[in-house]
Structure 1
């Protein structure tokens, strides 16, 4: 599921894989785990920075983090190799989201004194997430551009285009944008994180549903089932880069029921107290770095082999 544009080579590889019924379990599992590990690590980084850094330093660090992420994504445009470009877009996108989205929401929530949502004496929703739904209009603005202005590889957007445009689809969205894999990955990650945060905030809001509402549970179950079907499709992707990009969508959808279950205290979210679970968090970090290096050297080896 890619938000930016379609990849003809990846799509061809995927189609061939589905016709031959050949699956690539290690590639799918490794890609899924690589992206999955970023979820608790991202939460832990924010929490540790808030706990152990001065508020002013947090905001400067967050802004710097977002800027570094943007630079990494831009560097990825000029890097050779689909997998490498994907990795630059993934890491850069994560830093961008954390620094220039979440920390900026945090800054303005603190600056204007937005209170957290408290239940039974505990904070259940931080101020920065309470104001995030105000960005719904901007999210729709970007989605409108994608729906009406580009032929792309996102199944969800393609489905909307078919339903809205019907036979006129080829006339309205007859060509893709200029494609840079790093930018594709960056936009996919940020648009999906943004969309799922908006969905969760809508579900948690008692003015609409509430975290114990049956519809909220249905959203969680639907995302869990959907992520299984997405992972099944991921198994047929022979390209490492395409597998990682598909894993981004799969993991974000999979993480939605995890967030809901944590919200209703079905299990303890250890990543919200990383200082108490140091060993576990370090193990996740080591596993993430190992997979990242594995993908990087795998791409280097393949590129070196092709150049001979």
Structure 2
């Protein structure tokens, strides 16, 4: 039996590896993560609609309870892993916890507290608040206060909080020097970031379109929406410049969390059809979304890791 390596087979393998490596370098890496996380947002919206409005009791509460527990388990499993797998497990666990425990708990709180609905300013179907939306908007006070105290942490790595600190001239002389050699647990960081970015953007959107202030059709609302859209587009551009896979995943959580405001805003004004809210009517489209999500997730999971730095090669 010949032990010689087939040259053509080697060329094919090398070409395949080179092609795959392109997907883990900028700008393709950042674009893939944007697609991954946009697909996740669509799937999570479908999950919320199914659990809240399709499943009968008690399954509409049992399924989210189990899903959230799986999310928490994934975060724990990600602790101590390398930058890529830890970030992916933290991110996946974070969105499962939010879409199950948070999204399911808000209607219970809204209905249990008998929080009244707020009708749309123009009497239409867009821009009104359910009781849970009123509750979520009010929780923004606690979100902001918590973020302020997180910002005071000398070892915080959040780009937005670091930018605010620089703007306020809060340097090491005020907060103390960052801990030398400190490496945060990336799974916890990714899950925590997903939770707070989603919470903050949810509150921000509700504040902007609040029918009790300006409502949807007001120059102030148009201006604020435009500013957030520009912010989201800028962050997506910055996302395409990220070079390390683990860091790109964590940066993408914030970038996509802000950029998701764009389709949300567009649907308020009838410029975008949220097909993922009607998964039963669009099975082909949702199958494509699910396939893209799984395929990109697996591609990132198989990223080669530098054993010394625990980061992508």
Scaled to the shorter chain, the TM-score interval is: 0.7 to 0.9
Which residue matches 1:92? 93
Q: 1:122: Cα distance to partner? A: 4.2
Indicate the SS of the match to 1:72: helix
Q: C-alpha distance in 1, partners of 2:208/2:231?
A: 18
Which residue matches 2:282? 277
Rg larger in 1 or in 2? 2
Q: 1:82 to 1:280 in 2, by over 3 A?
A: same
Q: 1:238 to 1:269 in 2, by over 3 A?
A: same
Q: 1:277 to 1:156 in 2, by over 3 A?
A: same
Which residue matches 2:247? 242
Q: 1:96: Cα distance to partner? A: 0.9
Greater shift in the superposed pair: 236-245 or 211-220:
211-220
Q: 1:206: Cα distance to partner? A: 1.8
Q: 1:91: Cα distance to partner? A: 0.6
Which residue matches 2:200? 195
Q: 1:138: Cα distance to partner? A: 1.9
Q: 1:69: Cα distance to partner? A: 1.2
Which residue matches 2:83? 82
Q: C-alpha distance in 2, partners of 1:305/1:148?
A: 31
Q: 1:258: Cα distance to partner? A: 1.4
Q: 1:100: Cα distance to partner? A: 2.0
Which residue matches 2:49? 47
Q: 1:242 to 1:114 in 2, by over 3 A?
A: same
Q: 1:262 to 1:184 in 2, by over 3 A?
A: same
Deviation sequence 1:179-207 (CA, Å, 0-9, x none):
10011111111111111110111112122
Contact 1:210 1:216 in 2 (8 A): yes
Q: 1:238 to 1:266 in 2, by over 3 A?
A: same
Q: C-alpha distance in 1, partners of 2:67/2:111?
A: 19
Q: Which has the higher contact order (CA 8 A, sep 6+)?
A: 1
- Partner of residue 217 from structure 1, selected from 188, 213, 222: 222
Q: How many residues align?
A: 281
Q: 1:293 to 1:178 in 2, by over 3 A?
A: closer
Greater shift in the superposed pair: 262-271 or 283-292:
262-271
Q: 1:110: Cα distance to partner? A: 3.0
Indicate the SS of the match to 1:55: coil
Q: Which has the higher helix share?
A: 1
Q: C-alpha distance in 1, partners of 2:142/2:201?
A: 14
TM-score, L = length of structure 2: 0.81
Which residue matches 1:253? 258
Q: 1:225: Cα distance to partner? A: 2.0
- Partner of residue 132 from structure 1, selected from 133, 136, 144: 136
Q: Does 1:34 align with 2:36?
A: yes
Q: Does 1:163 align with 2:150?
A: no
Q: 1:121 to 1:159 in 2, by over 3 A?
A: closer
Which residue matches 2:178? 175
CA RMSD of aligned residues (A): 2.5
Q: 1:118 to 1:306 in 2, by over 3 A?
A: closer
Indicate the SS of the match to 1:196: helix
Q: 1:175 to 1:304 in 2, by over 3 A?
A: closer
Q: Does 1:148 align with 2:149?
A: no
TM-score, L = length of structure 1: 0.82
Greater shift in the superposed pair: 168-177 or 198-207:
168-177
Contact 1:148 1:173 in 2 (8 A): no
Contact 2:267 2:274 in 1 (8 A): yes
- Partner of residue 68 from structure 1, selected from 70, 88, 91: 70
Contact 1:90 1:189 in 2 (8 A): yes
Q: 1:33: Cα distance to partner? A: 0.8
- Partner of residue 231 from structure 1, selected from 217, 233, 236: 236
